[in-house]
Amino acid sequence: MSPSAMAMATDDGIRETDEFQKGVKHLFENGVSKLPDKYILPVSDRPNIHKEQPDVSNSSLRLPVIDFAELRGRNRSRVLDSLSYACEEYGFFQVVNHGIPIEVIRRMNDVSSRFFGLPFEERAKYMSSDMTSPVRYGTSLNQTKDSVFCWRDFLKLVCSPLSDVLRLWPSSPTDFRKVAATYAKETNWLFLRITEAILDSLGLWDATAAAAPEDDEIMKQFHEGSQLMVVNCFPPCPEPDLTLGMPPHSDYGFLTLLLQDEVQGLQIQYKGKWITVEPNADSFVINVGDHLEIFSNGRYKSVLHRVFVNPEKPRLSVASLHSLPFNCMVGPSPKLIDEGNPRRYKDTDFATFLEYISSCEPKKKNFLESRKLT
């Protein structure tokens, strides 16, 4: 190859890399008709949604449904049993009658859609590969480490403390900060109420009785806890069988509250198969995070999940990840450890998680596995 040809190839490579870094929304807006090599997964990792494979199921799953309103009524005990079963068996459940006004949800969906509809130059103001940035627009999972990119763009917003970070959030659309802040407050309220029920189901909290001092301390930590909001955009994909919107992973926090639109995409691994979760309008999908699995000493399960993409329809979701404060150590509750159920996990914190995922390509439940003692 001549020097000039080599220079051209290098320039093309640089331009190609730049295009990847700009995200999949940018590729879609520029009329991509064939999946770039950077997004093509190895055959063994492809979703095969439309093909019959031994390890893939095209069937849909209705997750256990928790009626939030009944948690405060005469059926609380029965609902807690259902909640415990869902966390042990699926690691996921849906919450209906959750108390968050439907208008808050719909405005959040609307303003998120308008943000991703902004010109690339406006979205790019928030682009960063710094995983510690309080506001970050990016693509894939880890732009500096991922060998294959995922068909997803995201806007990450640190929400705690809200008074410190709100001024850093996008100022366009003009109502973005107001709408997203309201949504963050409402989902944090719901997280705290569900956490009380989770602790009750574990025998660590009784919302109907006077709380013991140590129980007060548990909930105080969650009231002062961390919240991270991730708005996900999955544009139509030209070759959806070759890639994923998100690869198999578990969430690092305590609980994740997911708002998804009517387009299918979320799958969870259940009994060795990938099962599609049916969207349920205006409800929340809640999943157990790594921190809750650690806190419950393995009783409640943080389950692998992934997202497949659609050749024709865009998909939008908003994930609100909640846990203890960023600087707080998370370990198994001492009340859940005894001779018959010994301690199964090391203590961990958010800094340890960030260090882990910044140093390697995140895969499946590797971080949680690194915390196990046995």
* Residue 152 reports pLDDT greater than 60: yes
In sequence order, what DSSP letters do the residues of 347-362 get, joined into one string?
Answer: -B-HHHHHHHHHHS--
pLDDT at 370: 83
The three-state secondary structure class of 43 is: helix
- Contact indicator for 138, 128 with CB cutoff of 8 Å: yes
For residues 243 and 139, what is the distance between their CA atoms, to the nearest angstrom?
Answer: 14
The β-bridge relationship of strands 255-260 and 266-270 is unpaired
- Domains of the chain, by residue range, sit at 19-48+56-322
pLDDT 10s digits, 87-134: 999 999 999 999 999 999 999 999 999 999 999 999 999 998 787 899
* Residue 151 reports pLDDT greater than 80: yes
pLDDT band at 14 (very low <50, low <70, confident <90, very high): very low
Mean pLDDT confidence for 243-267: 94
For the purposes of burial, counting CB atoms within 10 Å of the CB of 151, is it exposed (0-12), middle (13-18) or buried (19 or more)? buried
* Residue 244 reports pLDDT greater than 50: yes
Chain length of the chain: 374
- Flag the least confident range among 11-25, 132-146, 270-284, 312-326: 11-25
* Residue 49 reports pLDDT greater than 70: no
Mean pLDDT confidence for 338-349: 91
For residues 108 and 188, what is the distance between their CA atoms, to the nearest angstrom?
Answer: 15
pLDDT band at 205 (very low <50, low <70, confident <90, very high): confident
Q: Which of the four CATH numbers 1.10.10.10, 2.60.120.330, 3.50.50.60, 1.10.3720.10 does domain 19-48+56-322 have?
A: 2.60.120.330
The three-state secondary structure class of 169 is: coil
Higher-pLDDT residue of 160 and 52 is 160
* Residue 157 reports pLDDT greater than 50: yes
pLDDT band at 174 (very low <50, low <70, confident <90, very high): very high
Higher-pLDDT residue of 208 and 319 is 319
Higher-pLDDT residue of 95 and 211 is 95
Selection from 188, 172, 131 nearest residue 154 by Cα: 131
* Residue 29 reports pLDDT greater than 70: yes
The β-bridge relationship of strands 284-288 and 315-323 is unpaired
For residues 72 and 126, what is the distance between their CA atoms, to the nearest angstrom?
Answer: 42
Tell me the one-letter amino acid at 247.
P
pLDDT at 145: 73
pLDDT at 112: 98
Mean pLDDT confidence for 163-173: 96
For residues 367 and 352, what is the distance between their CA atoms, to the nearest angstrom?
Answer: 9
Helix (H), strand (E) at residue 93 = strand 92-96
* Lookup: tokens for 45: 């990792």
The three-state secondary structure class of 284 is: strand
Q: Which residue has the tokens 């020097």?
A: 3
pLDDT 10s digits, 257-276: 999 999 999 999 999 899 99
- Contact indicator for 356, 367 with CB cutoff of 8 Å: yes
Higher-pLDDT residue of 361 and 56 is 361
pLDDT 10s digits, 349-363: 877 777 776 665 555
pLDDT at 8: 32
pLDDT at 13: 39
Q: What percent of the chain has pLDDT over 70?
A: 87
User: What is the dihedral sign for C-alpha 41, 136, 355, 293?
Assistant: negative
Q: What percent of the chain has pLDDT over 90?
A: 68
Selection from 333, 262, 322 nearest residue 293 by Cα: 333
Angle between helices 213-223 and 176-201 (to 10 degrees): 150
pLDDT at 269: 93
Q: Which residue has the tokens 């969906």?
A: 109
Higher-pLDDT residue of 228 and 55 is 228
Q: How does the average pLDDT of the chain come out, rounded?
A: 87
